[in-house]
Structure 1
Amino acid sequence: MAKPLVVVIPHQLGRAEARRRLENGIGQAKEMLQKAGLSMADATWSGDRLSFLVAAMNQRVDGDIDVEDDAVRVEVRMPLLLSLFAHKIQQIVSQNGTKLLTKQ
């Protein structure tokens, strides 16, 4: 197992609004993953933590999204093979997370 990928996305929404946006964005994330040939097998909330499982290239990737008052912390744990794509994954998570958490 490779070192976890961690992305911290600052926001100014407050914890409740950030969580609401993430809850609403799960459907969009599943669609985006599906278009890329990936599938989100599981996404469950426990308090302000969303745990997820994604299947990619016969590999399983899991992680957690922790919602805080002023930031969202995304941690993705992936097999060594998929860690070769860590930089690209980090860019996608950061860009899409920032869009989702920008005040509108």
Structure 2
Amino acid sequence: MIDIPHTLGRDEAKRRMERGVGKLASHIPGGAATVTHSWLSAERLALTVATMGVEVPCTVDAEDNRLRVTLHLPGMLSLMSGPIAAIVEKQGERLMLADKTDRTI
């Protein structure tokens, strides 16, 4: 599990997840990824990332002060769980929570 902290509240985090999920594939290295998604509940997003013949299912739970990401890494990818988790943590806020409509001067 990977926790991505935020101060947005659950509803705003979910709204931003909804807006950002379509852009996720373009941020995955290799350039040939596809991402399918569906909402399992009001706060739980299921994703499957497929690239180079490998599928990685995951869930993202929107909570009041964090996103909880659970990845299910298959076989050989489990050996790279540390670096993969680091990428998810680093990019999580930017990919799922950033809102380009927010303007700060």
TM-score, length of structure 1 as denominator length: 0.81
Matched position secondary structure for 1:81: helix
> Which range moves more in the overlay, 59-68 or 25-34?
25-34
**Which of 63, 66, 74 is the equivalent residue of 1:71?**
66
Q: How many residues were matched structurally?
A: 98
Matched-pair contact (CA < 8 Å) for 2:16–2:98: no
Amino acid at match of 1:9: I
Matched-pair contact (CA < 8 Å) for 1:48–1:67: yes
Flag the structure with more relative contact order, 1 or 2, with Cα contacts below 8 A and sequence separation at least 6.
Answer: 1
Name the % identity. 36
TM-score, length of structure 2 as denominator length: 0.80
Q: CA deviation at 1:70?
A: 0.8
Gaps of at least 5 residues in structure 1 are 1-5
RMSD value over aligned CA atoms?
Answer: 2.0
Q: Deviations over 1:15-56 (max 9, x none)?
A: 01111111111122122237532221x200121100011113
User: As a proportion of its length, which structure holds more strand?
Assistant: 1
Gaps of at least 5 residues in structure 2 are none
Q: Which residue of 2 aligns with 1:27?
A: 22
